[in-house]
Amino acid sequence: MEAKGMTHPKMPDTERLRLDQQICFPLYAASRLVTRLYQPLIEPLGLTYPQYLVLMLLWEQSPRSVSEIGERLQLDSSTLTPLLKRLAAAGFVTRSRSKRDERVVEIHLAAAGRKLEQQCAGIPLALAGQIGFPAQEAAELKRRLDGLLARLILSVR
């Protein structure tokens, strides 16, 4: 993905292939590095980063349907189903059929998953302190990334 305004319209096509002209690479590298920073904070709790994301959604609202979780986290069912099964096996969530629609599987936060919320409460501040990114800049970056994500979601539909 090329960022608008990052290249000159008369720039040769091959120049547009330069890594320093791409927006995709810093997004990819930043995502990998942030996930790596989370690992020592969540691994002692028996969590992977995608499992942590699922739990954050459930801490906001439980139950949630599998399809809602997948849509919100941009995960397909082949990735999400085994992840949810591992969370259930660990006792953090339970899975059940919706009473309104049997085709819908709902994920409920279990007591152990609720307890984990308190253990994870300090993680965002710990990570922010590790990175040393000013709060105002972080908020602006998040706002811009949310806008980019919304555009990307529309473009893949």
Mean per-residue pLDDT over the chain, rounded: 92
Rounded CA-CA distance 113/93 in Å is 6
Per-residue confidence (pLDDT) for residue 65, from 0 to 100: 95
What are the Cα distances from residue 29, in Å, to 11, 19, 26, 37, 122?
25, 12, 5, 12, 24
* Cα 69 to the center of its chain, rounded Å: 11
Beta bridge partners of 100: none
Per-residue confidence (pLDDT) for residue 16, from 0 to 100: 85
Please, which pLDDT band fits residue 14 given cuts at 50, 70 and 90? confident
pLDDT by residue (tens digit) across 109-155? 999 999 999 999 999 999 999 999 899 999 999 999 999 999 999 99
Domains and CATH numbers, the chain: 1-45 (no CATH), 47-156 (1.10.10.10)
pLDDT by residue (tens digit) across 71-122? 999 999 899 999 999 999 999 999 999 889 989 999 999 999 999 999 999 9
Rounded CA-CA distance 12/23 in Å is 18
